[in-house]
Amino acid sequence: MAEVRIHHSWKNRLEAEFSQNYFEDLIGFVKEEYSKTTIFPPAKLIFNAFDRCPFESIKCVIIGQDPYHGPGQANGLCFSVADGVPHPPSLQNIFKELKEDVGCDIPTSGNLESWADQGVLLLNATLTVRARRPGSHQNKGWENFTDAVIRELSQGKSNLVFILWGAYAQRKGEMIDQKKHFVIQSPHPSPFSAARGFFGSKPFSQANHYLMSIGSDPIDWDLTRSG
């Protein structure tokens, strides 16, 4: 397995979690999976969301479920795909809402790294998956780890924006202190649910209005400027 990268600010915050028995078991399972079959994202990108987004810089958190399970798609950021990869249906709908909400043109690339670089933590609840086997690494320990991440964010920071799309993310968000943070909830952008309230929910402008209201810089959601 390739060397995994994670920003030192997260290493320090999550050090106690890394020494838990469940996490040691999880890492043993993940290493074995990478050694015997095709797993996404590439091993060096498992913690990409944390590596690109230091704890101190986080303004906004978007919670997903699993990495994409198709070849070349997952890059360690929820809903994001590598450059040159066709946009999956949920991402297509995110971009439709983005255009309707704040007027951004739909980008050629579905790579959301420029959001992460501005302090948007794009967090999947489960950080790895077998090729073409959605949900295959659920209930192995990743959910415990990402619960700990959400608790750390809720307790250790104030005035974050949490964007929770769909029932799964909303259940995951139950540990967020809504007195300290701004929570935006809507149906999931999946084609199965987007028309039931995701479209028209304006999460991007809501997030920026809140950030500006607390004196923080808004997020430039326009991916066509990210090169």
Active site positions, annotated: 66
Cα–Cα distance, 181 to 195 (Å, whole number): 27
Place of tokens 């919670």: 63
User: Which tokens go with 127?
Assistant: 């950080």
- One-letter amino acid of 137: H
DSSP 88: P
Cα–Cα distance, 172 to 1 (Å, whole number): 29
Of 38, 55, 45, 183, nearest in space to 124 by CA: 45
CA-angle at 214, arms to 210 and 216, nearest 5°: 90
